[in-house]
Amino acid sequence: MTHRFPVRVYYEDTDMAGVVYHANYLRYIERARSDWVRELGIDQNAMREEDGLVFAVRRVEADYLLPAKFDDTLEVRTTIRSVTGARLIMGQEVRRGEERLFLAEVTLVCINDTGHPARLPANIRLLLH
């Protein structure tokens, strides 16, 4: 299953040449992951408040292929690569039409309120498989 999330490039996202600043790709993929989790029906506020658990980015491997520019319409595509007891690896890419501009492999972990690794709740693991 691939989640798709639209993004419009605003002037504030770019440098003086009208090219998207590299860190903004991380913002785009974060928004897409948050939207995807919400669409799955996972309430991250309840997860934090009731279970003391949150998702945290453990690792990001990124490749910048082509520049996005001011006023481009982009799409972030997110797929699950693997799920373990406490870890979720996702593939994400930013596209302009069929052009791939940015690729990332993101490792998320579940941590408890003390910052230590914790198992993903069973109901969430079921949603991810």
Angle at 95 between CA 89 and CA 97, to 5 degrees: 145
15 is annotated as an active-site residue: yes
Beta strands, E only, the chain: 3-8, 53-64, 73-83, 87-96, 99-112
Question: How many helices and strands, by DSSP H and E, does the chain display?
Answer: 3, 5
Active-site choice (13, 15, 43, 72): 15
**Catalytic positions, please?**
15
